[in-house]
Amino acid sequence: MLQTTDTHASTGYRLGQSIRILHITQSPDDFRLVKETLIAGERHVAFVLIHADLFSKALEQIARTSFDLFLLDLNLPDCSVLEAIPLLGKTHPSRPVIVLVGRDELHLGLQAIQAGAADYLNRNRIDPGQLNHTLCAAIERRRQNLELRERNSELEILYNLSTLLVSTLDRETLFAGILKTLTALPQLAVQARGLFFLVEEDRLRLAGHLGHIEPSPACHKNLKIGDCLCGRVAKTGALLISDNCRSDPRHTIQAEELHGHIIIPLSGHGGVVGVLCLYTATGVRLSEENSRMLRTAGQLIGMAIDNVRLFEEETLHANCDALTGLINRRCLAMSLEKSIALAKRFNRPLSALMIDIDHFKKFNDTCGHLEGDSLLLKVANFISHEIRGMDVAARFGGEEFLVLLPETNLSEAESIAERIRQVVASGAEVTISLGVSCYSPEDGDGNDLLQHADTALYRAKINGRNRVEVYGDTPFFTKV
């Protein structure tokens, strides 16, 4: 056996690396012939040749050690070579098998290739150059096939990820799908948990997580750019691998259990827009192929985040009043339709407040339109502050506002309206009038609810303003 120090041009095996070959033959003479031929012919690769005289013994050796290539004699006493080839394919997938045949058995060599062998050789006409070339060529084909398989796998992952990224513009659905997709990849050897951060000014905001229970995500909610591993990646824009959270000095957040990390920068048009943190067992390494794939995935995800933000900005502009930030009439119509449907289906109360600023035209004429705009914003803020997160406030037009109050009966809505009236009267330069109505099954649709609130508002106006009026079956009454 010849050991060399250079690299073989075709196989890619380097400095001191050897190709381990298991020669399965019952003939000691054939084994000796192959061994001597390899010694005579090798110039650039170190071969290690191991002998097994039975296929059953070969399987025992395969269970104990790994081989790069198998040489099979056509005539094995305990197994047909056409049965042995697929069995070897199961135990050592993608390892090439080369069959040695006699001069009268060349047709069986073709059958062996059909069964999965990489090649066959005529043992009666074997020479050092041919044997060396055949073995090295088989190893190189295997290397190229593995590389192609890995590249195809990488492209499939990126294709599936790209399909996910264009399937939704809802950020919660998108972030959850990304975490589930990447944590499910077997080649990454990551755990089924992860953290998703968005860059916002000088901080990282935790935008999503998978497989965590509190308080683990809680300690990540106030990260600055540069802090711990995720902050460092947000600052540098470089993929980071940490194989041990306790021994890595860059990992400054204390962890209860031992783990490693793969931290992926998410790069958008303006730089790093987010960070994806995956968890691994300790000691996990990442191949260059997988590193390249994750860097590309980070770029795709970063562009998807840009698209989501752009969509959200456009949606906000389309659905919100530019001055007050409340939803506009268009968005109100959709919210009203949904609220009416829920109230009908589950027989739950739904109330509405129609609000108008008293003498707003006079204020505008006296103080100017800029002050008028400031007043509209102030009143809108008062309204937003006094209602719940489930409620819907809209600028209905001009100096009018509308509030939808799900799960709120007429009496409760009246109390809310009175509270808003008092807050505006004490905190703004003007007063407001409010009309209150509650949806009834006898009402046709949402327009009836709004019409009734508007009728109550009109009554508040003619009764002197700065008051709440309630629409109902009984005559109107006044709240001062």
Calculate the alpha carbon distances from 436 to 31, 326, 463 in Å.
Answer: 99, 19, 15
Q: Count CB-CB contacts under 10 A for residue 422.
A: 14
What strands lie across the sheet with 46-52, from one edge to the other?
A: 46-52, 18-24, 69-73, 97-101, 119-122
Distance CA(422)–CA(317), nearest Å, equals 31
The radius of gyration of the chain from alpha carbons, rounded to an integer in Å, stands at: 37
Residue 293: in which H helix or E strand, if any? helix 288-319
**How many Cα neighbours within 13 Å face the side chain of 131?**
23
| CB-based contact 197:223 (threshold 8 Å) | yes
Cβ-defined contacts of 265-268 (< 8 Å, 24+): 265/233, 265/234, 265/236, 265/237, 265/238, 265/239, 265/295, 265/298, 265/302, 266/298, 266/299, 266/301, 266/302, 266/305, 267/237, 267/298, 267/299, 267/302, 268/302, 268/303, 268/305, 268/306
The one-letter amino acid at 447: N
Q: Which two tokens stand for residue 163?
A: 């399909």
Helices 288-319 and 171-183: angle between axes, nearest 10 degrees: 170
Distance CA(73)–CA(102), nearest Å, equals 10
**Residue 320 DSSP one-character state:** B
Q: Which two tokens stand for residue 189?
A: 């050897």
Cβ-defined contacts of 418-423 (< 8 Å, 24+): 418/468, 418/479, 419/386, 420/353, 420/355, 420/382, 420/383, 420/386, 420/387, 421/466, 421/467, 421/468, 423/382, 423/385, 423/386
The residues, ordered by sequence, that sit 6+ positions from 16 with a Cβ below 8 Å of its Cβ are 3, 5, 46
Residues with a known catalytic role:
399
Distance CA(171)–CA(174), nearest Å, equals 5
Nearest Cα residue to 460 out of 469, 451, 452: 469
Dihedral (CA of 454, 460, 463, 464) sign? negative
